[in-house]
Amino acid sequence: MVTYGCLAILFLFVLIKGISLFFQGRKPVKREDTDRTLYTILNGERD
């Protein structure tokens, strides 16, 4: 019974998070941006 309660809470959390991301209009990070960020971190050229 506790397991069903935990699954329900998890489902609601995922549902709310998905809806919030949908309304925010966030776009996935492009590969070039990720590569550039990793490159600057590895070279110690942080902002």
Task: Please report, for the chain, the start and end positions of each structural domain, with discontinuous segments joined by +.
Answer: 2-42
Which tokens in the block code for residue 23? 């309304």
CA distance 11 to 33: 31
Residue 12's H or E segment, with its range, is helix 2-24
Give pLDDT, residue 21.
Answer: 81
What percent of the chain has pLDDT above 90?
34
Least confident of 18-22, 28-32, 43-47: 43-47
pTM for this predicted structure: 0.48
Give pLDDT, residue 46.
Answer: 57
CA distance 28 to 47: 22
